[in-house]
Chain A
Amino acid sequence: MSIWEYANPKKFMTTTAPVLPWVFAIAIAATVIGLVWGFFFTPEAENFGSTVKIIYLHVPSALMAINAWLMMLVASLIWLVRRHHVSALAAKAAAPVGIAMTLIALITGAIWGQPTWGTWWVWDPRLTSFLILFLFYLGYVALWSAIEDPDTAADLTSVLCMVGSVFALLSRYAVNFWNQGLHQGASLSMDKAENVSNVYYIPLLISMGGFVLLFIALVILRTRTEIRLRRIGALQARARRS
Protein backbone atom coordinates (compact mmCIF):
# COMPACT_ATOMS: atom_id res chain seq x y z
CA MET A 1 0.00 0.00 0.00
CA SER A 2 1.33 3.44 -0.94
CA ILE A 3 1.66 6.28 1.59
CA TRP A 4 -0.04 8.55 -0.98
CA GLU A 5 -3.34 6.76 -0.35
CA TYR A 6 -3.57 8.78 2.86
CA ALA A 7 -3.56 11.94 0.76
CA ASN A 8 -7.12 10.97 -0.18
CA PRO A 9 -9.35 12.95 2.25
CA LYS A 10 -11.79 10.06 2.69
CA LYS A 11 -8.98 7.60 3.45
CA PHE A 12 -7.40 10.11 5.85
CA MET A 13 -10.68 10.55 7.74
CA THR A 14 -11.41 6.83 8.06
CA THR A 15 -7.84 5.98 9.08
CA THR A 16 -7.41 8.71 11.69
CA ALA A 17 -10.85 8.43 13.35
CA PRO A 18 -10.07 5.33 15.48
CA VAL A 19 -6.44 6.38 16.14
CA LEU A 20 -7.08 9.92 17.35
CA PRO A 21 -8.52 9.21 20.85
CA TRP A 22 -5.57 6.93 21.61
CA VAL A 23 -2.99 9.46 20.48
CA PHE A 24 -4.68 12.13 22.61
CA ALA A 25 -4.87 9.85 25.65
CA ILE A 26 -1.18 8.85 25.45
CA ALA A 27 -0.14 12.45 24.71
CA ILE A 28 -1.96 13.86 27.75
CA ALA A 29 -0.75 11.01 29.99
CA ALA A 30 2.90 11.49 28.92
CA THR A 31 2.74 15.28 29.24
CA VAL A 32 1.18 15.11 32.71
CA ILE A 33 3.62 12.42 33.91
CA GLY A 34 6.64 14.32 32.53
CA LEU A 35 5.58 17.65 34.04
CA VAL A 36 4.48 16.25 37.42
CA TRP A 37 7.67 14.17 37.71
CA GLY A 38 9.80 17.15 36.73
CA PHE A 39 8.00 19.62 38.97
CA PHE A 40 7.59 17.56 42.14
CA PHE A 41 10.20 14.82 42.06
CA THR A 42 13.44 16.31 40.73
CA PRO A 43 15.98 18.21 42.84
CA GLU A 44 17.15 21.79 42.43
CA ALA A 45 20.23 22.26 40.25
CA GLU A 46 23.42 23.76 41.64
CA ASN A 47 23.58 26.62 39.12
CA PHE A 48 19.89 27.23 38.48
CA GLY A 49 18.15 26.49 41.79
CA SER A 50 14.51 25.51 41.31
CA THR A 51 14.35 27.29 37.91
CA VAL A 52 15.76 24.09 36.41
CA LYS A 53 12.16 22.79 36.55
CA ILE A 54 11.31 25.15 33.70
CA ILE A 55 13.34 22.84 31.41
CA TYR A 56 10.36 20.41 31.23
CA LEU A 57 8.32 23.10 29.47
CA HIS A 58 10.97 25.11 27.68
CA VAL A 59 12.88 22.34 25.87
CA PRO A 60 9.84 20.33 24.64
CA SER A 61 8.00 23.45 23.45
CA ALA A 62 11.10 24.80 21.67
CA LEU A 63 11.62 21.39 20.06
CA MET A 64 8.04 21.39 18.78
CA ALA A 65 8.12 25.04 17.70
CA ILE A 66 10.96 24.23 15.29
CA ASN A 67 9.76 20.79 14.20
CA ALA A 68 6.19 21.98 13.63
CA TRP A 69 7.56 24.41 11.06
CA LEU A 70 9.69 21.68 9.47
CA MET A 71 6.60 19.44 9.28
CA MET A 72 4.76 22.34 7.61
CA LEU A 73 7.68 22.65 5.17
CA VAL A 74 7.46 18.97 4.18
CA ALA A 75 3.66 19.19 3.81
CA SER A 76 4.02 22.40 1.77
CA LEU A 77 6.57 20.80 -0.57
CA ILE A 78 4.25 17.81 -1.07
CA TRP A 79 1.46 20.26 -1.95
CA LEU A 80 3.65 22.16 -4.41
CA VAL A 81 4.97 19.01 -6.11
CA ARG A 82 2.03 16.58 -5.97
CA ARG A 83 -0.98 18.88 -5.32
CA HIS A 84 -2.42 16.72 -2.54
CA HIS A 85 -4.98 18.85 -0.70
CA VAL A 86 -4.62 16.96 2.59
CA SER A 87 -0.95 17.94 2.83
CA ALA A 88 -1.76 21.65 2.33
CA LEU A 89 -4.53 21.40 4.93
CA ALA A 90 -2.20 19.59 7.37
CA ALA A 91 0.31 22.44 7.06
CA LYS A 92 -2.46 24.94 7.71
CA ALA A 93 -3.67 22.88 10.69
CA ALA A 94 -0.21 22.73 12.24
CA ALA A 95 0.42 26.49 12.28
CA PRO A 96 -1.73 27.48 15.31
CA VAL A 97 -0.24 24.60 17.30
CA GLY A 98 3.23 25.83 16.28
CA ILE A 99 2.30 29.32 17.46
CA ALA A 100 1.28 27.94 20.87
CA MET A 101 4.56 26.00 21.16
CA THR A 102 6.67 28.99 20.10
CA LEU A 103 4.84 31.24 22.56
CA ILE A 104 5.47 28.80 25.42
CA ALA A 105 9.16 28.54 24.46
CA LEU A 106 9.55 32.34 24.28
CA ILE A 107 7.70 33.04 27.55
CA THR A 108 9.36 30.27 29.58
CA GLY A 109 12.72 31.30 28.10
CA ALA A 110 12.21 34.90 29.20
CA ILE A 111 11.07 33.84 32.68
CA TRP A 112 14.10 31.51 32.97
CA GLY A 113 16.46 34.15 31.56
CA GLN A 114 15.68 36.75 34.23
CA PRO A 115 17.15 34.87 37.25
CA THR A 116 19.94 33.08 35.33
CA TRP A 117 21.17 35.77 32.88
CA GLY A 118 19.81 38.81 34.74
CA THR A 119 17.62 39.83 31.79
CA TRP A 120 14.27 38.82 30.28
CA TRP A 121 15.50 39.24 26.74
CA VAL A 122 18.72 39.67 24.80
CA TRP A 123 19.25 39.98 21.04
CA ASP A 124 21.19 36.75 20.99
CA PRO A 125 21.24 34.82 17.62
CA ARG A 126 19.07 31.96 18.87
CA LEU A 127 16.51 34.13 20.64
CA THR A 128 16.28 36.57 17.75
CA SER A 129 15.78 33.84 15.14
CA PHE A 130 13.16 32.28 17.41
CA LEU A 131 11.27 35.57 17.63
CA ILE A 132 11.41 35.91 13.82
CA LEU A 133 10.10 32.33 13.52
CA PHE A 134 7.16 33.35 15.76
CA LEU A 135 6.44 36.32 13.47
CA PHE A 136 6.60 33.98 10.44
CA TYR A 137 3.99 31.75 12.11
CA LEU A 138 1.68 34.76 12.57
CA GLY A 139 2.28 35.84 8.96
CA TYR A 140 1.56 32.31 7.72
CA VAL A 141 -1.81 32.15 9.52
CA ALA A 142 -2.68 35.69 8.40
CA LEU A 143 -1.88 34.82 4.76
CA TRP A 144 -4.17 31.77 4.84
CA SER A 145 -6.99 33.98 6.19
CA ALA A 146 -6.37 36.79 3.72
CA ILE A 147 -6.74 34.77 0.49
CA GLU A 148 -10.16 33.47 -0.49
CA ASP A 149 -9.17 30.84 -3.05
CA PRO A 150 -7.81 27.86 -1.03
CA ASP A 151 -5.42 26.63 -3.74
CA THR A 152 -3.86 30.08 -4.19
CA ALA A 153 -3.60 30.40 -0.40
CA ALA A 154 -1.89 27.00 -0.23
CA ASP A 155 0.57 28.02 -2.97
CA LEU A 156 1.52 31.34 -1.38
CA THR A 157 1.73 30.01 2.18
CA SER A 158 3.94 27.16 0.92
CA VAL A 159 6.40 29.70 -0.48
CA LEU A 160 6.28 31.66 2.80
CA CYS A 161 6.91 28.41 4.66
CA MET A 162 10.05 27.73 2.60
CA VAL A 163 11.40 31.21 3.36
CA GLY A 164 10.60 30.88 7.08
CA SER A 165 12.41 27.55 7.24
CA VAL A 166 15.69 29.48 7.27
CA PHE A 167 14.71 30.87 10.66
CA ALA A 168 13.42 27.52 11.91
CA LEU A 169 16.86 26.04 11.19
CA LEU A 170 18.65 29.10 12.60
CA SER A 171 16.62 28.76 15.82
CA ARG A 172 18.10 25.30 16.19
CA TYR A 173 21.65 25.85 14.95
CA ALA A 174 22.36 29.55 15.62
CA VAL A 175 24.40 28.62 18.71
CA ASN A 176 26.65 26.37 16.59
CA PHE A 177 26.93 28.82 13.67
CA TRP A 178 27.90 31.93 15.60
CA ASN A 179 29.17 30.50 18.85
CA GLN A 180 28.11 33.65 20.68
CA GLY A 181 25.21 34.95 22.73
CA LEU A 182 23.88 33.91 26.11
CA HIS A 183 21.86 30.86 25.12
CA GLN A 184 23.50 27.52 25.78
CA GLY A 185 23.79 24.65 23.29
CA ALA A 186 21.53 21.59 23.15
CA SER A 187 20.31 20.18 26.49
CA LEU A 188 20.15 16.67 25.04
CA SER A 189 22.91 15.14 22.97
CA MET A 190 24.07 11.79 21.63
CA ASP A 191 27.25 12.49 23.58
CA LYS A 192 26.52 11.40 27.16
CA ALA A 193 29.02 13.85 28.62
CA GLU A 194 27.08 16.80 27.16
CA ASN A 195 23.68 15.58 28.36
CA VAL A 196 21.76 16.98 31.29
CA SER A 197 22.17 14.93 34.45
CA ASN A 198 20.31 11.58 34.55
CA VAL A 199 17.99 12.76 37.30
CA TYR A 200 16.49 15.35 34.90
CA TYR A 201 16.91 13.27 31.74
CA ILE A 202 14.04 10.73 32.03
CA PRO A 203 11.23 13.16 32.98
CA LEU A 204 12.50 15.50 30.26
CA LEU A 205 12.33 12.69 27.67
CA ILE A 206 8.77 11.80 28.79
CA SER A 207 7.72 15.44 28.63
CA MET A 208 9.23 15.78 25.15
CA GLY A 209 7.40 12.62 24.05
CA GLY A 210 4.17 14.07 25.44
CA PHE A 211 4.60 17.33 23.54
CA VAL A 212 5.41 15.47 20.29
CA LEU A 213 2.28 13.29 20.63
CA LEU A 214 0.15 16.29 21.63
CA PHE A 215 1.30 18.07 18.50
CA ILE A 216 0.49 15.02 16.34
CA ALA A 217 -2.95 14.61 17.95
CA LEU A 218 -3.82 18.29 17.52
CA VAL A 219 -2.64 18.35 13.90
CA ILE A 220 -4.74 15.26 13.07
CA LEU A 221 -7.80 16.78 14.78
CA ARG A 222 -7.35 20.16 13.09
CA THR A 223 -6.65 18.57 9.67
CA ARG A 224 -9.91 16.64 9.98
CA THR A 225 -11.66 19.94 10.71
CA GLU A 226 -10.05 21.58 7.66
CA ILE A 227 -11.14 18.67 5.45
CA ARG A 228 -14.72 19.07 6.69
CA LEU A 229 -14.57 22.83 6.07
CA ARG A 230 -13.44 22.16 2.51
CA ARG A 231 -16.31 19.71 2.04
CA ILE A 232 -18.76 22.35 3.32
CA GLY A 233 -17.35 24.82 0.78
CA ALA A 234 -17.72 22.28 -2.04
CA LEU A 235 -21.33 21.42 -1.09
CA GLN A 236 -22.31 25.07 -0.82
CA ALA A 237 -20.75 25.81 -4.22
CA ARG A 238 -22.65 22.85 -5.74
CA ALA A 239 -25.91 24.07 -4.16
CA ARG A 240 -25.38 27.57 -5.61
CA ARG A 241 -24.81 26.16 -9.11
CA SER A 242 -27.94 23.98 -9.12
Chain B
Amino acid sequence: MIDLGKYATEVLSAYGISIVILVVIVWQSFARARKVRAELDRVEGNNG
Protein backbone atom coordinates (compact mmCIF):
# COMPACT_ATOMS: atom_id res chain seq x y z
CA MET B 1 0.00 0.00 0.00
CA ILE B 2 1.21 3.50 -0.80
CA ASP B 3 2.64 5.48 2.14
CA LEU B 4 0.88 8.85 2.44
CA GLY B 5 2.72 9.83 5.62
CA LYS B 6 1.05 12.09 8.17
CA TYR B 7 -1.48 13.42 5.63
CA ALA B 8 -3.04 10.02 4.83
CA THR B 9 -6.41 11.00 6.36
CA GLU B 10 -6.63 14.21 4.33
CA VAL B 11 -5.66 12.60 1.01
CA LEU B 12 -7.84 9.51 1.44
CA SER B 13 -10.87 11.51 2.57
CA ALA B 14 -10.47 13.93 -0.39
CA TYR B 15 -10.39 10.98 -2.83
CA GLY B 16 -13.17 9.08 -1.03
CA ILE B 17 -15.62 11.99 -0.88
CA SER B 18 -14.91 13.09 -4.48
CA ILE B 19 -15.34 9.60 -5.90
CA VAL B 20 -18.63 9.21 -4.01
CA ILE B 21 -19.91 12.54 -5.44
CA LEU B 22 -18.85 11.53 -8.98
CA VAL B 23 -20.48 8.09 -8.68
CA VAL B 24 -23.69 9.63 -7.32
CA ILE B 25 -24.04 12.17 -10.17
CA VAL B 26 -23.30 9.52 -12.84
CA TRP B 27 -25.68 6.98 -11.23
CA GLN B 28 -28.44 9.57 -10.75
CA SER B 29 -28.11 10.72 -14.39
CA PHE B 30 -28.45 7.15 -15.72
CA ALA B 31 -31.27 6.20 -13.32
CA ARG B 32 -33.28 9.31 -14.28
CA ALA B 33 -32.59 8.72 -18.00
CA ARG B 34 -33.86 5.13 -17.71
CA LYS B 35 -36.97 6.16 -15.77
CA VAL B 36 -37.91 8.97 -18.20
CA ARG B 37 -37.30 6.77 -21.23
CA ALA B 38 -39.65 4.10 -19.83
CA GLU B 39 -42.25 6.79 -19.08
CA LEU B 40 -42.01 8.15 -22.63
CA ASP B 41 -42.44 4.64 -24.07
CA ARG B 42 -45.55 4.22 -21.90
CA VAL B 43 -47.06 7.59 -22.90
CA GLU B 44 -46.29 7.03 -26.60
CA GLY B 45 -47.91 3.58 -26.31
CA ASN B 46 -51.05 5.11 -24.81
CA ASN B 47 -51.17 7.69 -27.62
CA GLY B 48 -50.93 4.97 -30.27
Contacts and interface: CB of A to CB of B under 8 A. Distances in A.
B23 to A, nearest CB: 10
Interface residues of B, number: 31
Interface of A: 31, 35, 39-40, 44, 49-51, 53-54, 57-58, 61, 96-97, 100, 103-104, 107-108, 111-112, 114-115, 214, 218, 221-222, 224-225, 228-229, 231-232, 235-236, 238-239
A51 B21 contact: no
B21 A232 contact: no
Contacts of B28: 96
Contact of B15 (A31, A57, A214): A57
Interface string B1-23: 01011111011011101100110
Given A40-B2, A107-B17, A225-B36, A53 B11 contact: yes
Q: Which one of B25, B28, B43 has the highest number of Cβ atoms from chain A below 10 Å of its Cβ? A: B25
A100 B25 contact: yes
Nearest to A239: B47
Interface of B: 2, 4-8, 10-11, 13-15, 17-18, 21-22, 24-26, 28-30, 32-33, 36-37, 39-40, 43-44, 46-47
Contact of A218 (B2, B18, B26): B26
10 contacts: A31-B22, A35-B15, A50-B4, A61-B18, A97-B29, A107-B21, A108-B18, A115-B7, A228-B36, A235-B44
B19 to A, nearest CB: 8
Contacts of B30: 221
Nearest to B30: A221
A97 B4 contact: no
A104 B8 CA distance: 18
Nearest to A31: B22
Contacts of A96: 25, 28-29
B40 A228 contact: yes
Contact of A51 (B10, B24, B46): B10
